Amino acid sequence: MKKIAVIVSLIFAFVVVAGAQKKMKPWTEWNEKDAQKILNDSAWGQTQTETSTSELFYSPANRGGTGDVGQNAPGQGGGAIGEGQGALNQATSINYRIRFLSAKPIRQAFARLIVSKQPELKEQLNQFVERDFGEWIVVSVVFESRDQRFTGPAMQVFNSAVIGTLKNNTYLELKGGKRLFLEDYKAPASDGLGAKFIFKRAVDGQPFIKPDSGEVRFYSEVARNIKLNMRFKVTEMIYEGKLEY
């Protein structure tokens, strides 16, 4: 009976994973909308938006203050925007694009956007798409705002961040509380891929994230007012028959 129970559970797990796989057309056929969805609203890429309402009302241009970014996003921390600026009479926001760069679909989406404008780079980008990240998991973070004055403070924070201050409050977390802490950090470079948070793929010889992990959370206190907190469903991260992360 015990063996039967094990077999039944394995079959069930296979059905769940197989059912989670989505039929997708080849990445070379994606349009810009397809690529942006993979990057910003998919199993491998999500967006955390932090909004400040402090700019809705008049205040002196040279005011100080701590800002109220993140008040409309409980538990998701705050972004470094809206402090020390003159009032704009409108709410302002900054988007943090949190992506598993080591997942092939994310690299394919990046490549598709570039190739659509520069076809001559296709062969070079194929190498980027097929790159083997080996023993590493890489989470990248890109930040964007309609008003460039609000990306400056965030850029300063991410550029000045170092592994020494990040490693104790940046981790991947599985359901049940098991955590994998940051191994290395790379500040944003000119490649357009954003800041890179690097984790080991295996713990005690076993993959940290498995098909039956259920959910994985990325959390990082990059600074007092920039706290990144995003959850990803592992069952939806199956791509071309493989768990991609």
| Range of weakest confidence among 14-23, 60-69, 212-221 | 60-69
Q: Are 136 and 100 in contact (CB under 8 A)?
A: no
pLDDT value of residue 170: 98
Angle, CA of 185, 191 and 194, to the nearest 5°: 45
Give CA–CA dist 66/62, Å, rounded: 13
Question: The pTM is what?
Answer: 0.78
pLDDT at 74: 34
Residue 56 pLDDT greater than 70, yes or no: no
Residues linked to residue 98 through DSSP beta bridges, in sequence order? 46, 141
Distance separating alpha carbons of residues 207 and 82, to the nearest angstrom:
41
Does 76 score more than 60 pLDDT? Answer: no
Phi and psi torsions of 21, nearest 5°: -70, 135
Mean pLDDT computed over 134-163: 92
Contact 45, 99 (CB under 8 A): yes
Q: Are 184 and 138 in contact (CB under 8 A)?
A: no
How many other C-beta atoms lie within 10 A of the C-beta of residue 202?
13
Residue 198: its pLDDT value, please? 98
Least confident of 71-80, 172-181, 216-225: 71-80
Q: Which helix (H) or strand (E) holds 157?
A: helix 151-160
Dihedral of CA 174/176/182/188: which sign? positive
pLDDT of residue 67: 37
- Of 54-58, 66-70, 94-98, 143-147, the range with the lowest mean pLDDT is 66-70
